[in-house]
């Protein structure tokens, strides 16, 4: 019997990507799609890609309309999930939230970076951080998963093995990430117009981006000590993809071959991590996939490890990773519907 799935916020980029993946997933059936601003419209009216592929109609969300579903994805902008999480968990089996509201443990940091008070803080401790390569066993037994942010996914996966194996120091780390414009969501914004972004690269929220504490919190947790880092995000004139260049001071001299060996061993059971040994990884090679490609260079003169991490922000950075988490939560093969 197939799992009954609902998507709250199905009209956005991440919601539509979720629907695209799940319509081809052999073990689920999407039975409800919610989008308040598009309620009453067919999915293919809002996203013509789904013409003759999906006959569902967007509904306004209410707990009663979601009751009885096995798994519900929340693909709403950050700040909206807290208002529905209590009622949703009371009527459905499991929940996966793609927003940022339940990722941070420190409510003062949440207020500082998200510019609002948390209205459902009591649920933060119930949410399992959904990065399968680090928290697979916890995800498998979870009822509520908070999906990682797109920038944190690439940065954390790039840095985790080096920190855990003590080949880099825990301070002076710099992460410079380039993202396609879809990472900003589907809402209209003058800054994201074609004429503003074409032939342009723009840094934004320099050192104050809301993903900064998420990266720091997760790396500090897995390392066991506070990790100090600087994070600078940029928008680039592409639709999707994130390229993270990470600069980390090495503890001692090490060869590139040894670094590759450490990463291959660490990710030996991670089906969506690909270690790139020769040329630097490229965005084009991960588009439309759930892979994270990781490459390395050592700056011998400055004793720095340069880590290059590449993902598709709508897949491994959002919808693909959410489905990976769903598979684990439901006891299905981790890669089902994603390869």
User: 39 and 178 in one domain?
Assistant: no
Q: What is the pLDDT of residue 192?
A: 66
E strand or H helix at 26 = none
* Cα separation, 102 vs 81, whole angstroms: 9
- Could you tell me the CATH number of the domain that includes residue 306? 3.30.360.10
User: 169 and 141 in one domain?
Assistant: no
Tell me: the pLDDT tens digits for 219-228?
A: 999 999 999 9
User: 116 and 171 in one domain?
Assistant: no
Instruction: Judge contact between 210 and 113, C-beta under 8 A.
Output: yes
- Identify the active-site residue in 96, 150, 197, 227: 150
E strand or H helix at 137 = helix 132-140
Q: What is the pLDDT of residue 162?
A: 98
Residue 334, domain member (yes or no):
no
Residue 92, domain member (yes or no):
yes
**Which of 103, 131, 146 has the alpha carbon at shortest distance from 267?**
131
User: 257 and 127 in one domain?
Assistant: no
Name beta bridge partners: 234: 178, 203
Number of structural domains in the chain: 2
Query: Could you say which residues of the chain have pLDDT below 50?
Result: none
* Cα separation, 289 vs 148, whole angstroms: 17
E strand or H helix at 97 = strand 94-97
Q: What is the pLDDT of residue 181?
A: 84
Instruction: Tell me whether residue 51 is exposed, middle or buried, using C-beta atoms within 10 angstroms of its C-beta: 0 to 12, 13 to 18, 19 or more.
Output: exposed
**Which of 218, 246, 264, 239 has the alpha carbon at shortest distance from 308?**
246
Instruction: Judge contact between 20 and 14, C-beta under 8 A.
Output: no
Q: What is the pLDDT of residue 199?
A: 83
DSSP 261-289: HHHHHHTTT-TTEEE--SSPP-GGGTTTS
Q: What is the tally of helices (H) and strands (E) in the chain?
A: 11, 13
User: 60 and 206 in one domain?
Assistant: no
Q: What is the pTM of this model?
A: 0.95
User: 161 and 137 in one domain?
Assistant: no
Buried b (16+ CB within 10 A) or exposed e, 295-316: bbebeeeeebbebbbbbbbbbb
292 is catalytic: no
Residue 41, domain member (yes or no):
yes
Domain hosting 171: range is: 151-311
* Cα separation, 236 vs 289, whole angstroms: 20
């Amino acid at each position: 019997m197939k799992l009954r799935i609902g998507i709250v916020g199905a009209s956005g980029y991440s919601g539509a990507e979720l629907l695209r993946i799940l319509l081809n997933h052999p073990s689920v059936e999407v039975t409800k799609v919610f989008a308040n601003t598009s309620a009453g419209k067919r999915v293919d009216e809002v996203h013509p890609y789904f013409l003759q592929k999906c006959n569902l109609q967007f509904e306004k969300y209410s707990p009663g309309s979601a009751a009885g579903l096995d798994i519900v994805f929340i693909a709403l902008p950050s700040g909206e999930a807290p208002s529905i999480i209590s009622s949703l968990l009371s009527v459905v089996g499991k929940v996966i939230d793609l927003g940022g509201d339940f990722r941070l443990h420190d409510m003062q940091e949440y207020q500082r970076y998200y510019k609002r008070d948390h209205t459902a803080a009591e649920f933060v401790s119930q949410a399992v951080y959904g990065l399968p390569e680090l928290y697979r066993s916890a995800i498998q037994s979870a009822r509520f998963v908070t999906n990682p942010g797109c920038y944190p996914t690439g940065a954390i996966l790039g840095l985790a093995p080096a920190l855990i194996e003590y080949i880099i120091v825990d301070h002076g780390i710099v992460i410079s990430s380039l993202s396609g414009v879809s990472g900003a969501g589907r809402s209209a914004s003058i800054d994201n117009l074609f004429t503003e972004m074409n032939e342009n690269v723009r840094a934004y929220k320099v050192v104050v981006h809301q993903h900064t504490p998420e990266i720091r919190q997760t790396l500090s947790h897995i390392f066991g000590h506070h990790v100090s880092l600087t994070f600078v995000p940029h928008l680039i004139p592409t639709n999707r993809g994130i390229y993270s260049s990470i600069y980390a001071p090495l503890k001692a001299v090490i060869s590139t071959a040894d670094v590759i060996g450490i990463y291959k061993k660490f990710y030996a059971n991670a089906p969506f991590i690909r270690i790139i040994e020769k040329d630097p990884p490229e965005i084009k090679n991960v588009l439309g996939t759930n892979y994270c490609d990781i490459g390395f260079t050592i700056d011998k003169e400055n004793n720095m490890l340069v880590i290059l991490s590449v993902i598709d922000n709508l897949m491994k950075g959002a919808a693909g990773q959410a489905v990976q988490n769903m598979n684990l939560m439901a006891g299905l093969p981790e890669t089902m519907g994603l390869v």
